[in-house]
Chains A and B, each alone.
Chain A
């Protein structure tokens, strides 16, 4: 087996106003022909910088490859002149990005975008190139490729766009394909299809693949070997099977353990910080923390009365048409949803993008006005409340959003952000009392109370999400909707935030609706789970029932698409 790519002692530095930041430190690994190497790490670990270095795309300045070699078929890419590098890039080495929406040019037909690559690198004439791109679209499984080649990117779904990106990447039959989180933005069922497709293509063209992701579940399914990066360093490399069975570095162990499983989980998820301290020294995890328990669904009428009841809720958006802009039809984002939720319990809401789960959450809080139906909260129908009453009601019901970057006002300090809800609802007698409460909130969500004078951009994604939680708690609500609240976070941070949500639920008796596309996360945190599709509930039951004995075909398909998080070889061994 010959090596296609050898990375030897690679170091990449970035010059910033705060000094030199080493993004990649002395990293070495190989990518053999026809094999897939998984590169795993959290954001900021240097995994993407490594891949950009291979593509010769490190922006210089401020970036610079300070040491090491990148050998591609024996030739060093680091010292190669740009003109020669340009021939290799796109021709021998191709790359697929996370965001198919922004990686395609919106003003050109997809067919001509693929054709352009072929004309540029393969010297084809326009007619040949067009025919070849139709053939490529066929290979990546786009339905009706001849007609689809004439489509513009916005006419395609997310999964289809990612397929087009793959078609573009393999157009010149590259020897090495670098995939930077190619499936992170996709729904699970689409993710599975895309991964299967990439497997087939790798087989067909005998490509080497470097697959970058933060999701160990996907890695287990796809990679032959795994390289783990942490804080710019390579901490572990081994075969996928060994990584999952005999991980040696505590970070790797933490990374494997922090992903919630679909069956049993510990009462609180393990996190990387359970496995090592700040100086990367290994810690011994107490066995009781590791113990996995079955989910028990229990409540009693007195402690857990029905807090929220939704009756036949509809949210319809008018579709305008015709020359006069009349309403010709309605898009039924939420179409007759009913459920009851008991105090202190969590309802998980899962479904693929566009199923209406976010709209449902906002309609319950009347951030979007429902078209029809009732929302009964604590015995009162809140759909009838006027503006003023509704505003008072907001102290009882809160929401935590998905994107911790855009859900905090960048011009306000954390203190102002936390004090605002208290001001609005007259909580706390004076300023001093309010600030005391803000400090208390900061500590409750695991942040340093001294950081109140800071601004949101000075915090990491996980910390920002904690601030959002603190803001929601500032009005002492009983009910919180978490709308994809952990989806934008790294897995290890995600586990910490999930644990925090559970701790807070226990302490304050909170009731949650937890909306997510990630079925394993929903399973971990919820007592009951509702599966949503096309604005309606497909299935609503206790979490165990939905996951272990799904009744509907739709739920079964969804569950089978989730990456198992166990390498193929191990699965085969377990089954035999």
Chain B
């Protein structure tokens, strides 16, 4: 107890001293500066960047557009021929190309589900936290209801209505993952709305929209950034599980459908399709996880070393 308080005291005083030395820099720039000093975080950022690049090129049809083409014999093992370096599947299609196309599916699922979840989560969370009262009660009732339905059931019912396919995965994941963000934003906005800078905005005559959008939301944006990094990996894993269960992506290769295919292949000692998809997924999920933690430390340095 004693030690902790003393250390906190010290930190505040030290920060004061350092601040007077520093140059003109926003808190965002400060956070970026802290992030790039963390070597592991930078490596993860580069990995994520590479995945994004591969996904983009594949999305534009520049690479892996010909994933359905037969390039060699059925079930050719890996590392034997440059044309299908990671081996081939039942139909003689290159596993590498399928992994690359799967990367595009995975990253787009992460991106689109985040793009759906973030506006819903931020808007509802901010409204609930800021206005309180009946607005808060309605929103809290709504998200507790959504979150008390088992996620997989909701996904299956959405898939049932919209039919199978990648669009369903986007919507299903987007509509089920905003609750966590909404809770975080609601709590943070509640904390900020009583801060003196918001009261100062009232005192100069700012109305509710201005106080909320211009003053409070920029101060809770760091939560969105951390959420996005973690949402990506959750979405990627979910897509894999959904596709494996046969209610996700169909008609094109994804890591999930590849793993689904592989369950029959393993009996014939064909392991490369499973390995390719799993390794590709594992690396990017790990990178997003580490990046999420590093972002949290960089954006909120007070938390570091605690909790």
Q: Smallest Cβ distance from B203 to chain A, in angstroms? A: 5
Q: How far is the CA of A17 from the CA of B3 in the complex (A)?
A: 24
The interface residues of chain A lying within 8 Å CB-to-CB of B17 are 21, 23, 44
Q: How far is the CA of A180 from the CA of B207 in the complex (A)?
A: 42
The interface residues of chain A lying within 8 Å CB-to-CB of B267 are none
Q: How far is the CA of A59 from the CA of B306 in the complex (A)?
A: 14
Q: Is A97's CB under 8 angstroms from B13's CB?
A: no
Interface flag for A421 (CB, 8 Å): yes
Q: Is B16's CB under 8 angstroms from A468's CB?
A: no
Contact flag A455-B9 (CB < 8 Å), given A43-B16, A406-B197: no
Interface segment among A126-134, A314-322, A370-378, A389-397: the answer is A389-397
Interface flag for B27 (CB, 8 Å): yes
Q: Is B24's CB under 8 angstroms from A455's CB?
A: yes
Q: How far is the CA of A392 from the CA of B204 in the complex (A)?
A: 9
Interface flag for B60 (CB, 8 Å): no
The interface residues of chain A lying within 8 Å CB-to-CB of B25 are 455, 458
Interface flag for A408 (CB, 8 Å): yes
Interface of B is mostly: helix
Q: Is B195's CB under 8 angstroms from A406's CB?
A: yes
Q: How far is the CA of A394 from the CA of B207 in the complex (A)?
A: 12
Contact flag A180-B14 (CB < 8 Å), given A367-B202, A395-B205, A424-B206: no
Interface flag for A9 (CB, 8 Å): no
Q: Is A458's CB under 8 angstroms from B19's CB?
A: yes
Interface flag for A457 (CB, 8 Å): yes
The 0/1 profile, CB within 8 Å of B marked 1, for residues 459-495 of chain A is 1110000001001001100000000000000000000
Number of A-B contacts (CB under 8 A): 147
The residue in A16, A365, A425 that gathers the most chain B C-beta atoms within 10 A of its C-beta is A16
> Within A398-428, which residues are at the interface with B (CB < 8 Å)?
398-399, 401-403, 406-413, 420-421, 424-425
Contact flag A410-B27 (CB < 8 Å), given A102-B5, A401-B199: yes
Contact flag A424-B22 (CB < 8 Å), given A409-B219, A410-B219, A411-B27: no
Interface flag for B196 (CB, 8 Å): yes
Q: How far is the CA of A14 from the CA of B218 in the complex (A)?
A: 32
Interface segment among A48-56, A433-441, A528-536: the answer is A48-56
Interface flag for A385 (CB, 8 Å): no
Q: How far is the CA of A413 from the CA of B24 in the complex (A)?
A: 10
Q: How far is the CA of A104 from the CA of B4 in the complex (A)?
A: 11
Q: How far is the CA of A103 from the CA of B9 in the complex (A)?
A: 11
Q: Is A14's CB under 8 angstroms from B203's CB?
A: no
Q: Which of A48, A180, A367, A410 contacts B203 (CB 8 A)?
A: A367
Q: How far is the CA of A387 from the CA of B24 in the complex (A)?
A: 38
Q: How far is the CA of A391 from the CA of B25 in the complex (A)?
A: 33
Interface flag for A260 (CB, 8 Å): no
Interface flag for A18 (CB, 8 Å): yes
The interface residues of chain A lying within 8 Å CB-to-CB of B245 are none
Identify the closest chain B residue to A180 (Cβ): B9
Q: Is B22's CB under 8 angstroms from A365's CB?
A: no
Q: Is A403's CB under 8 angstroms from B205's CB?
A: no
The interface residues of chain A lying within 8 Å CB-to-CB of B210 are 424
Q: Which of B6, B205, B218 contacts A394 (CB 8 A)?
A: B205
Q: Is B18's CB under 8 angstroms from A16's CB?
A: yes
Q: Which of A44, A365, A401 contacts B13 (CB 8 A)?
A: A44
Identify the closest chain B residue to A395 (Cβ): B205
Q: Is A471's CB under 8 angstroms from B27's CB?
A: no
Interface flag for A453 (CB, 8 Å): yes
Interface size on A, residues (CB 8 A): 67
Interface flag for A291 (CB, 8 Å): no
Q: How far is the CA of A236 from the CA of B26 in the complex (A)?
A: 39
Q: Which of B5, B205, B207 contacts A421 (CB 8 A)?
A: B205
The interface residues of chain B lying within 8 Å CB-to-CB of A362 are 199
The interface residues of chain B lying within 8 Å CB-to-CB of A48 are 9-10, 13
Contact flag A407-B196 (CB < 8 Å), given A48-B13, A180-B9: yes
The interface residues of chain A lying within 8 Å CB-to-CB of B215 are 409, 412
Interface flag for A63 (CB, 8 Å): yes
Interface flag for A519 (CB, 8 Å): no
Q: Which of B26, B201, B205, B219 contacts A392 (CB 8 A)?
A: B205
Q: Smallest Cβ distance from A88 to chain B, in angstroms? A: 13
Size category, B interface: 35 or more
Q: Smallest Cβ distance from B300 to chain A, in angstroms? A: 12
Interface flag for B200 (CB, 8 Å): yes
Q: Is A59's CB under 8 angstroms from B10's CB?
A: yes
Q: How far is the CA of A98 from the CA of B206 in the complex (A)?
A: 36
Q: Is A97's CB under 8 angstroms from B5's CB?
A: yes
Identify the closest chain A residue to B200 (Cβ): A407
The interface residues of chain A lying within 8 Å CB-to-CB of B201 are 409, 420
Contact flag A49-B10 (CB < 8 Å), given A23-B17, A458-B24, A460-B16: yes
Interface flag for A135 (CB, 8 Å): no
The 0/1 profile, CB within 8 Å of B marked 1, for residues 153-189 of chain A is 0000000000000000000000000001000000000
Q: How far is the CA of A392 from the CA of B206 in the complex (A)?
A: 10
Q: Which of B2, B21, B26, B202 contacts A18 (CB 8 A)?
A: B21
Q: How far is the CA of A99 from the CA of B2 in the complex (A)?
A: 11
Contact flag A411-B196 (CB < 8 Å), given A14-B14, A48-B9, A63-B10: no
Q: How far is the CA of A425 from the CA of B269 in the complex (A)?
A: 75
Q: Smallest Cβ distance from A269 to chain B, in angstroms? A: 24
Identify the closest chain A residue to B1 (Cβ): A105
The residue in A453, A454, A461 that gathers the most chain B C-beta atoms within 10 A of its C-beta is A454
Interface flag for A351 (CB, 8 Å): no
Contact flag A409-B19 (CB < 8 Å), given A52-B6, A97-B6, A475-B204: no
Contact flag A458-B205 (CB < 8 Å), given A16-B14, A401-B200: no
The interface residues of chain A lying within 8 Å CB-to-CB of B207 are 387, 391
> Within B1-42, which residues are at the interface with A (CB < 8 Å)?
1-3, 5-11, 13-14, 16-22, 24-28, 33, 37
Q: Is A411's CB under 8 angstroms from B200's CB?
A: no
Q: How far is the CA of A475 from the CA of B200 in the complex (A)?
A: 13
Q: How far is the CA of A367 from the CA of B7 in the complex (A)?
A: 36
Q: How far is the CA of A471 from the CA of B206 in the complex (A)?
A: 13
Identify the closest chain B residue to A102 (Cβ): B5
Q: Which of A95, A420, A453 contacts B2 (CB 8 A)?
A: A95
Q: Is B13's CB under 8 angstroms from A43's CB?
A: yes
Interface flag for A57 (CB, 8 Å): yes
| CB-CB nearest 3 A-B residue pairs | A394-B205, A407-B196, A421-B204
Task: Add 15 more A-B contacts to A16-B18, A17-B37, A471-B200 (CB < 8 A).
Answer: A18-B21, A18-B22, A23-B14, A48-B10, A52-B9, A59-B10, A95-B2, A401-B196, A406-B195, A407-B200, A410-B27, A411-B26, A412-B218, A420-B214, A458-B24
- In the assembled complex, 22 residue pairs joining A and B whose CB atoms fall closer than 8 Å, in A order, are A17-B18, A21-B17, A48-B9, A48-B13, A57-B2, A57-B6, A59-B7, A97-B9, A103-B1, A105-B1, A367-B203, A399-B199, A406-B195, A406-B196, A409-B197, A424-B205, A451-B24, A454-B24, A455-B25, A458-B25, A460-B16, A474-B204
**Hey, which bits of chain A sit against chain B, CB under 8 A?**
14, 16-18, 21, 23, 43-44, 48-49, 52, 55, 57-59, 62-63, 89-90, 95, 97-99, 102-105, 180, 362, 365, 367, 387, 391-392, 394-395, 397-399, 401-403, 406-413, 420-421, 424-425, 451, 453-455, 457-461, 468, 471, 474-475
